[in-house]
Amino acid sequence: MIDLSLLPDGGIGWLDASGPKGSIVLSTRIRLARNLEGYVFSQRAKDADRTAVLTRVEEASAASDLLKGAATIRLDRLERIERQLLHERHLVSKELAGLDREARPRPGAALVVQGTVGVMVNEEDHLRLHGMRSGFALEEAYADLEALDADLGRLLPFAFHPEFGYLTSCPTNAGTGLRASVLIHLPGLVLTKEVGKVLQGLTQVGLTFRGLYGEGSEVVGNFFQLSNQTTLGKSEDELLDHLGKIVRQVIEYEEQAREVLLRTAPDEVADKTWRAYGLLKYARKLTFEETMNLLSGVRLGVGLNLIPGLSVYTLNKLLIFTQPAHLAALEGRQTGDPELPTARATYVRRVLETEAV
Amino acid sequence: MMCDNCKERESKINFTTVEHDTKVTLHLCEQCAQQKGIETGEAILKSPLGGFIQAMGKGGTNVLPTPADGLRCAACGSTLKDFRESGRLGCAQCYESFSTHLKDLLRRLHGSSQHVGERYAPPGAAGATDPRLQLLELKEQLRRAVENENFELAAELRDRIRVLE
Protein backbone atom coordinates (compact mmCIF):
# COMPACT_ATOMS: atom_id res chain seq x y z
CA MET A 1 0.00 0.00 0.00
CA ILE A 2 1.22 3.47 -0.83
CA ASP A 3 2.66 5.29 2.13
CA LEU A 4 0.76 8.55 2.29
CA SER A 5 2.98 9.78 5.07
CA LEU A 6 5.45 10.44 2.24
CA LEU A 7 3.19 13.29 1.26
CA PRO A 8 3.33 16.35 3.45
CA ASP A 9 -0.19 16.79 4.88
CA GLY A 10 -1.02 13.62 2.94
CA GLY A 11 -1.18 15.95 -0.04
CA ILE A 12 -4.45 17.43 1.16
CA GLY A 13 -3.29 20.47 3.08
CA TRP A 14 -5.33 22.44 0.57
CA LEU A 15 -8.52 21.00 2.03
CA ASP A 16 -8.10 22.47 5.49
CA ALA A 17 -10.64 25.23 4.76
CA SER A 18 -8.19 27.89 5.94
CA GLY A 19 -8.19 29.80 2.65
CA PRO A 20 -10.24 32.87 1.70
CA LYS A 21 -13.98 32.19 1.17
CA GLY A 22 -13.31 28.67 2.49
CA SER A 23 -16.97 27.80 3.05
CA ILE A 24 -17.90 28.48 -0.60
CA VAL A 25 -14.61 27.81 -2.40
CA LEU A 26 -12.93 24.52 -1.55
CA SER A 27 -9.72 24.93 -3.43
CA THR A 28 -7.82 26.74 -6.16
CA ARG A 29 -5.70 24.69 -8.50
CA ILE A 30 -3.49 25.96 -11.32
CA ARG A 31 -1.51 23.87 -13.74
CA LEU A 32 1.11 24.65 -16.37
CA ALA A 33 1.63 22.27 -19.28
CA ARG A 34 5.28 21.86 -20.31
CA ASN A 35 7.13 19.54 -22.70
CA LEU A 36 10.80 18.74 -23.07
CA GLU A 37 12.62 19.78 -26.20
CA GLY A 38 13.99 16.80 -28.11
CA TYR A 39 11.45 14.18 -26.99
CA VAL A 40 8.29 13.23 -28.88
CA PHE A 41 5.05 14.10 -27.11
CA SER A 42 3.42 11.49 -24.89
CA GLN A 43 0.84 10.36 -27.46
CA ARG A 44 3.62 9.18 -29.80
CA ALA A 45 6.17 8.24 -27.18
CA LYS A 46 7.45 4.71 -26.75
CA ASP A 47 8.06 3.23 -23.31
CA ALA A 48 11.76 4.05 -23.52
CA ASP A 49 10.97 7.72 -24.33
CA ARG A 50 8.69 7.95 -21.30
CA THR A 51 11.25 6.41 -19.00
CA ALA A 52 13.87 8.84 -20.34
CA VAL A 53 11.55 11.80 -19.67
CA LEU A 54 10.89 10.58 -16.13
CA THR A 55 14.62 10.17 -15.46
CA ARG A 56 15.30 13.73 -16.64
CA VAL A 57 12.51 15.09 -14.47
CA GLU A 58 13.65 13.12 -11.43
CA GLU A 59 17.24 14.32 -11.82
CA ALA A 60 16.15 17.90 -12.32
CA SER A 61 13.83 17.69 -9.30
CA ALA A 62 16.65 16.41 -7.12
CA ALA A 63 18.86 19.30 -8.26
CA SER A 64 16.12 21.93 -7.95
CA ASP A 65 15.44 24.22 -5.03
CA LEU A 66 11.74 23.54 -4.70
CA LEU A 67 11.44 19.82 -5.40
CA LYS A 68 14.56 18.67 -3.59
CA GLY A 69 13.51 15.78 -1.38
CA ALA A 70 10.09 15.54 -2.99
CA ALA A 71 8.33 12.21 -3.06
CA THR A 72 8.16 10.53 -6.47
CA ILE A 73 5.24 8.19 -6.83
CA ARG A 74 5.33 5.80 -9.78
CA LEU A 75 1.73 5.34 -10.86
CA ASP A 76 2.70 2.39 -13.04
CA ARG A 77 3.80 0.48 -9.95
CA LEU A 78 0.67 1.05 -7.88
CA GLU A 79 -2.47 -0.99 -7.39
CA ARG A 80 -5.66 0.39 -8.82
CA ILE A 81 -7.08 1.37 -5.43
CA GLU A 82 -3.93 3.37 -4.64
CA ARG A 83 -4.09 5.19 -7.97
CA GLN A 84 -7.74 5.92 -7.40
CA LEU A 85 -6.90 7.28 -3.98
CA LEU A 86 -4.44 9.78 -5.45
CA HIS A 87 -7.05 10.76 -8.02
CA GLU A 88 -9.65 11.30 -5.28
CA ARG A 89 -7.15 13.66 -3.64
CA HIS A 90 -7.01 15.64 -6.88
CA LEU A 91 -3.27 14.94 -7.10
CA VAL A 92 -3.37 13.03 -10.39
CA SER A 93 -5.71 13.01 -13.37
CA LYS A 94 -7.81 10.03 -14.32
CA GLU A 95 -5.69 9.69 -17.44
CA LEU A 96 -2.36 9.56 -15.60
CA ALA A 97 -3.77 7.12 -13.07
CA GLY A 98 -5.07 4.91 -15.90
CA LEU A 99 -8.49 4.65 -14.26
CA ASP A 100 -10.63 4.42 -17.36
CA ARG A 101 -12.18 1.05 -18.03
CA GLU A 102 -9.57 -1.48 -19.18
CA ALA A 103 -6.89 1.22 -18.91
CA ARG A 104 -3.53 0.89 -17.17
CA PRO A 105 -1.17 3.72 -16.28
CA ARG A 106 1.49 4.13 -18.96
CA PRO A 107 5.05 3.12 -18.10
CA GLY A 108 6.84 6.13 -16.63
CA ALA A 109 3.62 7.77 -15.38
CA ALA A 110 4.57 9.46 -12.12
CA LEU A 111 3.71 12.15 -9.62
CA VAL A 112 6.40 14.26 -7.98
CA VAL A 113 4.90 16.11 -5.05
CA GLN A 114 6.14 18.51 -2.41
CA GLY A 115 3.87 20.62 -0.22
CA THR A 116 1.49 22.75 -2.26
CA VAL A 117 3.12 21.96 -5.61
CA GLY A 118 3.59 18.89 -7.74
CA VAL A 119 4.37 17.60 -11.20
CA MET A 120 2.52 14.94 -13.14
CA VAL A 121 5.05 13.27 -15.44
CA ASN A 122 4.12 11.62 -18.74
CA GLU A 123 0.52 12.74 -18.74
CA GLU A 124 -0.83 14.27 -21.97
CA ASP A 125 2.21 16.54 -21.77
CA HIS A 126 5.62 15.52 -20.40
CA LEU A 127 5.13 17.74 -17.37
CA ARG A 128 2.01 19.12 -15.79
CA LEU A 129 3.14 21.40 -13.00
CA HIS A 130 0.44 22.15 -10.45
CA GLY A 131 -0.09 24.31 -7.43
CA MET A 132 -2.98 23.89 -5.01
CA ARG A 133 -4.29 26.14 -2.29
CA SER A 134 -7.15 26.07 0.14
CA GLY A 135 -10.05 28.41 -0.65
CA PHE A 136 -10.09 31.13 -3.29
CA ALA A 137 -6.40 31.96 -3.71
CA LEU A 138 -5.39 32.39 -7.33
CA GLU A 139 -2.47 34.70 -6.63
CA GLU A 140 -0.91 32.50 -3.98
CA ALA A 141 -1.36 29.33 -6.04
CA TYR A 142 0.25 31.02 -9.04
CA ALA A 143 3.13 32.43 -7.02
CA ASP A 144 4.02 28.88 -5.89
CA LEU A 145 3.74 27.58 -9.40
CA GLU A 146 5.62 30.40 -11.09
CA ALA A 147 8.55 29.76 -8.80
CA LEU A 148 8.46 26.03 -9.54
CA ASP A 149 8.24 26.71 -13.28
CA ALA A 150 11.27 29.00 -13.18
CA ASP A 151 13.18 26.55 -11.00
CA LEU A 152 12.61 23.56 -13.29
CA GLY A 153 12.85 25.65 -16.46
CA ARG A 154 16.45 26.49 -15.57
CA LEU A 155 17.30 22.79 -15.38
CA LEU A 156 15.18 21.27 -18.14
CA PRO A 157 14.83 22.48 -21.74
CA PHE A 158 11.13 23.29 -22.20
CA ALA A 159 9.70 23.34 -25.72
CA PHE A 160 8.96 26.98 -26.47
CA HIS A 161 8.18 28.87 -29.68
CA PRO A 162 8.42 32.68 -30.06
CA GLU A 163 4.98 32.88 -31.65
CA PHE A 164 3.06 29.98 -30.11
CA GLY A 165 4.61 30.09 -26.64
CA TYR A 166 4.92 26.83 -24.67
CA LEU A 167 4.22 23.96 -27.04
CA THR A 168 1.73 21.37 -25.88
CA SER A 169 0.48 18.07 -27.20
CA CYS A 170 -3.01 19.49 -27.73
CA PRO A 171 -3.20 23.00 -29.25
CA THR A 172 -5.99 23.88 -26.80
CA ASN A 173 -3.27 24.27 -24.14
CA ALA A 174 -0.57 26.04 -26.16
CA GLY A 175 0.80 29.47 -25.26
CA THR A 176 0.84 29.83 -21.50
CA GLY A 177 -0.14 26.20 -20.89
CA LEU A 178 -2.05 27.59 -17.93
CA ARG A 179 -5.33 26.27 -16.67
CA ALA A 180 -6.62 27.67 -13.39
CA SER A 181 -9.58 25.97 -11.70
CA VAL A 182 -11.59 27.08 -8.72
CA LEU A 183 -13.63 24.35 -7.00
CA ILE A 184 -16.76 26.11 -5.81
CA HIS A 185 -19.90 25.02 -3.96
CA LEU A 186 -23.08 26.59 -5.39
CA PRO A 187 -26.11 25.15 -3.57
CA GLY A 188 -27.82 28.55 -3.36
CA LEU A 189 -27.76 29.01 -7.11
CA VAL A 190 -28.88 25.43 -7.65
CA LEU A 191 -31.82 25.75 -5.21
CA THR A 192 -32.93 29.08 -6.71
CA LYS A 193 -32.54 27.50 -10.18
CA GLU A 194 -30.24 30.31 -11.28
CA VAL A 195 -27.22 28.12 -11.81
CA GLY A 196 -27.99 27.35 -15.47
CA LYS A 197 -27.92 31.02 -16.34
CA VAL A 198 -24.68 31.61 -14.47
CA LEU A 199 -22.95 28.63 -16.10
CA GLN A 200 -24.19 29.66 -19.52
CA GLY A 201 -22.81 33.13 -18.89
CA LEU A 202 -19.41 31.63 -18.12
CA THR A 203 -19.05 30.11 -21.56
CA GLN A 204 -19.76 33.48 -23.12
CA VAL A 205 -16.81 35.08 -21.32
CA GLY A 206 -14.25 32.44 -22.26
CA LEU A 207 -14.58 30.29 -19.15
CA THR A 208 -15.76 26.75 -18.71
CA PHE A 209 -17.05 24.53 -15.91
CA ARG A 210 -16.55 20.91 -15.02
CA GLY A 211 -17.54 18.46 -12.30
CA LEU A 212 -15.82 17.61 -9.03
CA TYR A 213 -12.92 15.69 -10.58
CA GLY A 214 -12.23 18.02 -13.52
CA GLU A 215 -12.35 17.15 -17.18
CA GLY A 216 -15.07 14.72 -18.15
CA SER A 217 -16.44 14.35 -14.61
CA GLU A 218 -19.98 14.82 -13.43
CA VAL A 219 -21.27 17.50 -11.12
CA VAL A 220 -21.97 15.98 -7.70
CA GLY A 221 -22.91 17.64 -4.44
CA ASN A 222 -23.31 21.02 -6.16
CA PHE A 223 -19.55 21.34 -6.65
CA PHE A 224 -18.37 23.01 -9.83
CA GLN A 225 -14.88 23.59 -11.17
CA LEU A 226 -14.67 26.92 -12.95
CA SER A 227 -11.69 27.48 -15.21
CA ASN A 228 -10.30 29.40 -18.16
CA GLN A 229 -10.96 27.97 -21.59
CA THR A 230 -8.25 29.66 -23.65
CA THR A 231 -4.52 29.69 -22.92
CA LEU A 232 -3.01 31.71 -25.78
CA GLY A 233 -3.08 35.40 -26.70
CA LYS A 234 -3.37 36.60 -23.10
CA SER A 235 -0.70 36.79 -20.44
CA GLU A 236 -0.78 34.61 -17.34
CA ASP A 237 -1.82 37.60 -15.24
CA GLU A 238 -4.60 38.55 -17.63
CA LEU A 239 -5.95 34.99 -17.63
CA LEU A 240 -5.90 34.85 -13.83
CA ASP A 241 -7.36 38.34 -13.41
CA HIS A 242 -10.21 37.52 -15.72
CA LEU A 243 -11.02 34.24 -14.00
CA GLY A 244 -10.68 35.91 -10.60
CA LYS A 245 -13.07 38.68 -11.54
CA ILE A 246 -15.71 36.26 -12.79
CA VAL A 247 -15.34 33.90 -9.81
CA ARG A 248 -15.79 36.85 -7.42
CA GLN A 249 -18.99 37.65 -9.28
CA VAL A 250 -20.19 34.04 -9.05
CA ILE A 251 -19.43 34.06 -5.30
CA GLU A 252 -21.50 37.23 -5.00
CA TYR A 253 -24.39 35.64 -6.92
CA GLU A 254 -24.18 32.60 -4.65
CA GLU A 255 -24.24 34.80 -1.54
CA GLN A 256 -27.21 36.73 -2.90
CA ALA A 257 -29.03 33.49 -3.71
CA ARG A 258 -28.45 32.31 -0.14
CA GLU A 259 -29.85 35.58 1.21
CA VAL A 260 -32.90 35.19 -1.00
CA LEU A 261 -33.40 31.66 0.28
CA LEU A 262 -33.13 32.79 3.90
CA ARG A 263 -35.53 35.67 3.35
CA THR A 264 -38.19 33.93 1.27
CA ALA A 265 -38.06 30.35 2.53
CA PRO A 266 -36.27 30.24 5.89
CA ASP A 267 -38.16 27.19 7.18
CA GLU A 268 -37.59 25.18 4.03
CA VAL A 269 -33.86 25.93 4.04
CA ALA A 270 -33.52 25.10 7.72
CA ASP A 271 -35.52 21.91 7.22
CA LYS A 272 -33.38 20.90 4.24
CA THR A 273 -30.05 21.35 5.99
CA TRP A 274 -31.17 19.77 9.29
CA ARG A 275 -32.66 16.81 7.45
CA ALA A 276 -29.34 16.33 5.63
CA TYR A 277 -27.54 16.52 8.97
CA GLY A 278 -29.98 14.08 10.54
CA LEU A 279 -29.50 11.54 7.79
CA LEU A 280 -25.72 11.79 7.94
CA LYS A 281 -25.82 11.42 11.70
CA TYR A 282 -28.17 8.45 11.92
CA ALA A 283 -28.23 6.61 8.58
CA ARG A 284 -26.92 3.04 8.60
CA LYS A 285 -26.10 2.86 4.89
CA LEU A 286 -24.84 5.66 2.67
CA THR A 287 -23.82 5.59 -0.98
CA PHE A 288 -21.08 7.98 -2.08
CA GLU A 289 -23.43 10.09 -4.14
CA GLU A 290 -25.99 10.40 -1.36
CA THR A 291 -23.23 11.35 1.06
CA MET A 292 -22.03 14.09 -1.29
CA ASN A 293 -25.53 15.50 -1.64
CA LEU A 294 -26.16 15.41 2.11
CA LEU A 295 -22.79 17.03 2.79
CA SER A 296 -23.78 19.76 0.36
CA GLY A 297 -26.96 20.41 2.35
CA VAL A 298 -25.08 20.50 5.66
CA ARG A 299 -22.37 22.72 4.16
CA LEU A 300 -25.07 25.20 3.15
CA GLY A 301 -26.44 25.12 6.71
CA VAL A 302 -22.99 25.74 8.19
CA GLY A 303 -22.42 28.59 5.71
CA LEU A 304 -25.71 30.17 6.78
CA ASN A 305 -24.93 29.70 10.49
CA LEU A 306 -27.94 27.44 10.86
CA ILE A 307 -25.95 24.48 12.15
CA PRO A 308 -23.62 25.51 14.97
CA GLY A 309 -20.59 23.62 16.21
CA LEU A 310 -19.60 22.00 12.95
CA SER A 311 -16.50 23.16 11.11
CA VAL A 312 -15.97 23.36 7.36
CA TYR A 313 -12.77 21.40 7.97
CA THR A 314 -14.78 18.44 9.28
CA LEU A 315 -17.02 18.62 6.22
CA ASN A 316 -14.01 18.69 3.90
CA LYS A 317 -12.54 15.71 5.68
CA LEU A 318 -15.79 13.79 5.23
CA LEU A 319 -15.83 14.79 1.58
CA ILE A 320 -12.41 13.26 1.01
CA PHE A 321 -12.54 10.19 3.23
CA THR A 322 -15.97 8.94 2.20
CA GLN A 323 -14.84 8.60 -1.42
CA PRO A 324 -14.74 4.94 -2.51
CA ALA A 325 -10.96 4.35 -2.58
CA HIS A 326 -10.35 6.33 0.62
CA LEU A 327 -13.03 4.52 2.53
CA ALA A 328 -11.97 1.13 1.19
CA ALA A 329 -8.35 1.80 2.14
CA LEU A 330 -9.39 3.01 5.59
CA GLU A 331 -11.46 -0.11 6.19
CA GLY A 332 -9.10 -2.55 4.48
CA ARG A 333 -11.68 -3.44 1.84
CA GLN A 334 -12.00 -3.35 -1.94
CA THR A 335 -13.78 -0.47 -3.71
CA GLY A 336 -16.49 -2.82 -4.99
CA ASP A 337 -17.22 -4.30 -1.53
CA PRO A 338 -21.02 -4.49 -1.02
CA GLU A 339 -20.52 -3.59 2.66
CA LEU A 340 -18.96 -0.23 1.76
CA PRO A 341 -22.17 1.82 2.19
CA THR A 342 -22.54 0.43 5.73
CA ALA A 343 -18.89 1.22 6.48
CA ARG A 344 -19.39 4.72 5.09
CA ALA A 345 -22.37 5.41 7.34
CA THR A 346 -20.43 4.15 10.37
CA TYR A 347 -17.45 6.34 9.50
CA VAL A 348 -19.60 9.45 9.02
CA ARG A 349 -21.41 8.87 12.34
CA ARG A 350 -18.12 8.42 14.16
CA VAL A 351 -16.60 11.62 12.74
CA LEU A 352 -19.74 13.64 13.49
CA GLU A 353 -19.93 12.27 17.04
CA THR A 354 -16.34 13.19 17.82
CA GLU A 355 -15.99 16.46 15.91
CA ALA A 356 -19.39 18.16 16.14
CA VAL A 357 -19.66 20.24 19.28
CA MET B 1 -35.25 35.31 -53.67
CA MET B 2 -35.94 37.84 -50.93
CA CYS B 3 -36.16 36.89 -47.26
CA ASP B 4 -39.75 35.97 -46.28
CA ASN B 5 -39.33 37.69 -42.93
CA CYS B 6 -37.65 41.07 -43.50
CA LYS B 7 -38.23 41.20 -47.25
CA GLU B 8 -35.08 43.26 -47.49
CA ARG B 9 -32.16 40.90 -47.74
CA GLU B 10 -31.52 38.00 -50.05
CA SER B 11 -32.64 34.68 -48.55
CA LYS B 12 -29.93 32.14 -47.95
CA ILE B 13 -31.58 29.53 -45.77
CA ASN B 14 -34.59 27.35 -46.46
CA PHE B 15 -36.18 26.54 -43.13
CA THR B 16 -38.79 23.81 -43.26
CA THR B 17 -41.16 23.02 -40.41
CA VAL B 18 -44.33 20.99 -40.05
CA GLU B 19 -47.26 22.94 -38.62
CA HIS B 20 -50.64 21.25 -38.20
CA ASP B 21 -49.64 18.47 -40.57
CA THR B 22 -48.65 20.93 -43.30
CA LYS B 23 -45.12 21.51 -44.47
CA VAL B 24 -44.14 25.17 -44.31
CA THR B 25 -40.93 26.37 -45.91
CA LEU B 26 -39.54 29.78 -45.02
CA HIS B 27 -36.84 31.43 -47.11
CA LEU B 28 -34.79 33.45 -44.69
CA CYS B 29 -31.75 35.67 -44.74
CA GLU B 30 -28.97 34.92 -42.27
CA GLN B 31 -29.90 37.62 -39.76
CA CYS B 32 -33.56 36.64 -39.60
CA ALA B 33 -32.60 32.95 -39.33
CA GLN B 34 -30.40 33.74 -36.38
CA GLN B 35 -33.17 35.76 -34.74
CA LYS B 36 -35.37 32.71 -34.99
CA GLY B 37 -32.67 30.72 -33.29
CA ILE B 38 -31.68 28.68 -36.32
CA GLU B 39 -28.00 27.86 -36.35
CA THR B 40 -26.66 28.35 -39.82
CA GLY B 41 -23.58 26.65 -41.13
CA GLU B 42 -21.74 29.95 -41.01
CA ALA B 43 -22.87 30.67 -37.46
CA ILE B 44 -21.52 27.30 -36.35
CA LEU B 45 -18.24 28.12 -38.01
CA LYS B 46 -18.01 31.41 -36.18
CA SER B 47 -18.05 29.72 -32.76
CA PRO B 48 -14.57 28.63 -31.70
CA LEU B 49 -15.63 25.02 -31.14
CA GLY B 50 -17.34 24.86 -34.53
CA GLY B 51 -14.08 25.89 -36.11
CA PHE B 52 -12.23 23.36 -34.04
CA ILE B 53 -14.58 20.56 -35.02
CA GLN B 54 -14.32 21.49 -38.66
CA ALA B 55 -10.58 21.86 -38.56
CA MET B 56 -10.34 18.45 -36.97
CA GLY B 57 -12.41 17.03 -39.81
CA LYS B 58 -14.97 15.56 -37.45
CA GLY B 59 -18.02 17.45 -38.60
CA GLY B 60 -19.05 20.36 -40.74
CA THR B 61 -18.61 19.84 -44.44
CA ASN B 62 -14.89 19.20 -44.55
CA VAL B 63 -14.89 15.47 -43.83
CA LEU B 64 -13.14 14.38 -47.00
CA PRO B 65 -9.36 14.18 -46.82
CA THR B 66 -7.62 17.24 -48.12
CA PRO B 67 -4.30 17.15 -49.98
CA ALA B 68 -2.62 18.65 -46.92
CA ASP B 69 -3.49 15.55 -44.86
CA GLY B 70 -0.37 13.85 -46.17
CA LEU B 71 1.85 16.61 -44.81
CA ARG B 72 4.45 14.98 -42.57
CA CYS B 73 6.54 16.31 -39.71
CA ALA B 74 10.16 15.57 -40.54
CA ALA B 75 11.13 15.31 -36.88
CA CYS B 76 8.63 12.74 -35.57
CA GLY B 77 6.99 11.41 -38.73
CA SER B 78 3.41 12.18 -37.75
CA THR B 79 1.09 13.56 -40.40
CA LEU B 80 -1.54 16.25 -40.38
CA LYS B 81 -4.04 13.42 -40.79
CA ASP B 82 -2.79 11.85 -37.54
CA PHE B 83 -3.40 15.16 -35.83
CA ARG B 84 -6.87 15.54 -37.30
CA GLU B 85 -7.75 12.06 -36.07
CA SER B 86 -6.23 12.16 -32.60
CA GLY B 87 -6.31 15.88 -31.80
CA ARG B 88 -2.74 15.53 -30.48
CA LEU B 89 0.49 16.66 -32.11
CA GLY B 90 3.50 14.35 -32.35
CA CYS B 91 6.28 16.62 -31.13
CA ALA B 92 7.31 20.25 -30.66
CA GLN B 93 8.54 20.43 -34.28
CA CYS B 94 5.00 19.67 -35.51
CA TYR B 95 4.14 23.28 -34.68
CA GLU B 96 6.62 24.36 -37.38
CA SER B 97 5.77 21.57 -39.79
CA PHE B 98 2.06 22.35 -39.74
CA SER B 99 2.32 26.03 -38.87
CA THR B 100 -0.03 27.40 -41.53
CA HIS B 101 -2.78 25.00 -40.51
CA LEU B 102 -2.13 25.43 -36.81
CA LYS B 103 -2.11 29.22 -36.90
CA ASP B 104 -5.59 29.12 -38.30
CA LEU B 105 -6.75 26.63 -35.71
CA LEU B 106 -5.10 28.47 -32.82
CA ARG B 107 -6.83 31.70 -33.85
CA ARG B 108 -10.17 29.96 -33.84
CA LEU B 109 -9.53 28.25 -30.52
CA HIS B 110 -7.97 31.12 -28.61
CA GLY B 111 -8.81 34.20 -30.68
CA SER B 112 -5.09 34.67 -31.33
CA SER B 113 -2.02 32.70 -32.32
CA GLN B 114 0.51 35.06 -30.73
CA HIS B 115 1.80 34.17 -27.27
CA VAL B 116 2.00 37.24 -25.06
CA GLY B 117 2.68 35.51 -21.75
CA GLU B 118 6.00 34.84 -20.09
CA ARG B 119 9.00 34.41 -22.37
CA TYR B 120 11.12 31.37 -21.75
CA ALA B 121 14.89 31.41 -21.63
CA PRO B 122 16.29 27.91 -22.10
CA PRO B 123 18.80 26.57 -19.56
CA GLY B 124 22.17 28.24 -19.84
CA ALA B 125 20.82 31.14 -21.93
CA ALA B 126 21.59 33.62 -19.17
CA GLY B 127 25.32 33.22 -19.76
CA ALA B 128 26.88 31.99 -16.56
CA THR B 129 26.53 28.21 -16.48
CA ASP B 130 24.72 26.80 -13.51
CA PRO B 131 26.85 23.95 -12.06
CA ARG B 132 23.67 21.99 -11.43
CA LEU B 133 22.87 22.22 -15.12
CA GLN B 134 26.32 21.03 -16.08
CA LEU B 135 25.84 17.99 -13.90
CA LEU B 136 22.44 17.20 -15.40
CA GLU B 137 23.87 17.52 -18.90
CA LEU B 138 26.74 15.18 -18.07
CA LYS B 139 24.31 12.61 -16.72
CA GLU B 140 22.30 12.82 -19.92
CA GLN B 141 25.50 12.39 -21.99
CA LEU B 142 26.46 9.42 -19.84
CA ARG B 143 23.13 7.73 -20.51
CA ARG B 144 23.55 8.22 -24.25
CA ALA B 145 27.12 6.95 -24.15
CA VAL B 146 25.99 3.77 -22.37
CA GLU B 147 23.13 3.36 -24.84
CA ASN B 148 25.59 3.59 -27.74
CA GLU B 149 27.98 1.24 -25.91
CA ASN B 150 30.69 3.88 -25.95
CA PHE B 151 32.11 2.74 -22.63
CA GLU B 152 35.34 4.68 -22.85
CA LEU B 153 33.41 7.96 -23.03
CA ALA B 154 31.03 6.71 -20.36
CA ALA B 155 33.88 6.06 -17.92
CA GLU B 156 35.26 9.54 -18.53
CA LEU B 157 31.86 11.12 -18.02
CA ARG B 158 31.28 9.14 -14.83
CA ASP B 159 34.54 10.46 -13.41
CA ARG B 160 33.62 14.04 -14.25
CA ILE B 161 30.20 13.55 -12.64
CA ARG B 162 31.86 12.19 -9.47
CA VAL B 163 34.07 15.27 -9.24
CA LEU B 164 31.13 17.62 -9.64
CA GLU B 165 28.98 15.74 -7.15
For residue A34, which phi and psi values (nearest 5 degrees)? Answer: -135, 150
Q: Over the stretch A310-337, which tens digit does the pLDDT of each residue have?
A: 999 899 989 999 999 999 988 889 888 9
**Contacting A residues, span 62-91, partner chain B, CB-CB under 8 Å:** 63-64
Q: Which of A177, A142, A152 is nearest to A64 (CA)?
A: A152
Average pLDDT, chain A: 92
B38 touches chain A (CB under 8 A): no
Q: Over the stretch B116-136, which tens digit does the pLDDT of each residue have?
A: 999 998 887 766 567 788 888
How many A-B residue pairs are in contact by the CB < 8 A criterion?
Answer: 124
Higher pLDDT, A235 or A5: A235
Chain A nearest-CA distance from B72, in A, is 14
Chain A nearest-CA distance from B22, in A, is 35
User: Pick from B112, B120, B132: which is nearest to A232 by CB?
Assistant: B112
At A43, the pLDDT band (50, 70, 90 cuts) reads: confident
ipTM of the complex: 0.87
CB contact under 8 A, B76 and A234: no
Q: Over the stretch A233-254, which tens digit does the pLDDT of each residue have?
A: 999 999 999 999 999 999 999 9
**Contacting B residues, span 118-147, partner chain A, CB-CB under 8 Å:** 118, 120-123, 130, 132-133, 135-136, 139-140, 143
Q: Residue B128's pLDDT is what?
A: 58
CB contact under 8 A, A232 and B130: no
Residue B50 pLDDT > 60, yes or no?
Answer: no
CB contact under 8 A, B106 and A40: no
Task: List the single residue in B with minimal CA-CA distance to A124.
Answer: B88
B90 touches chain A (CB under 8 A): yes
User: Pick from A155, A234, A236: which is nearest to B123 by CB?
Assistant: A155
CB contact under 8 A, B115 and A175: yes
Higher pLDDT, B67 or A221: A221
Which chain B residues touch A155 with a CB distance below 8 Å? 123, 130, 132-133, 136
pTM above 0.90, yes or no: no
Percent of chain A residues topping a pLDDT of 70 = 97
CB contact under 8 A, B118 and A176: yes
Residue A348 pLDDT > 70, yes or no?
Answer: yes
CB contact under 8 A, A124 and B91: no
Q: Over the stretch A105-134, which tens digit does the pLDDT of each residue have?
A: 999 999 999 888 999 999 999 999 999 999
Cβ atoms of A180 and A137 within 8 Å: the answer is no
Q: Over the stretch B81-107, which tens digit does the pLDDT of each residue have?
A: 999 999 999 999 999 999 999 999 999
Task: List the single residue in B with minimal CA-CA distance to A230.
Answer: B110
Q: Which of A16, A14, A17, A23 is nearest to A223 (CA)?
A: A23
Handedness of CA A307, A313, A316, A317 (dihedral sign): negative
Residue B45 pLDDT > 50, yes or no?
Answer: no
CB contact under 8 A, B117 and A176: yes
Could you give the CA distance from residue B159 to residue B141 in angstroms, rounded to a whole number? Answer: 13
In chain B, the N- to C-terminal Cα span, in Å, equals 82
Could you give the CA distance from residue A34 to residue A354 in angstroms, rounded to a whole number? Answer: 45
Residue B39 pLDDT > 60, yes or no?
Answer: no
Number of Cβ within 10 Å of residue A47's Cβ equals: 11
Q: Residue A244's pLDDT is what?
A: 97
Q: What angle do CA A41, A47, A52 make, to 5 degrees?
A: 70
Which chain B residues touch A164 with a CB distance below 8 Å? 95, 102, 106, 113, 115
Which chain A residues touch B76 with a CB distance below 8 Å? 40-41, 44
Q: Over the stretch A124-179, which tens digit does the pLDDT of each residue have?
A: 999 999 999 999 999 999 999 999 999 999 999 999 999 999 999 999 999 999 99
Q: Which of A267, A279, A299, A286 is nearest to A344 (CA)?
A: A286
Task: List the single residue in A with minimal CA-CA distance to B126.
Answer: A154
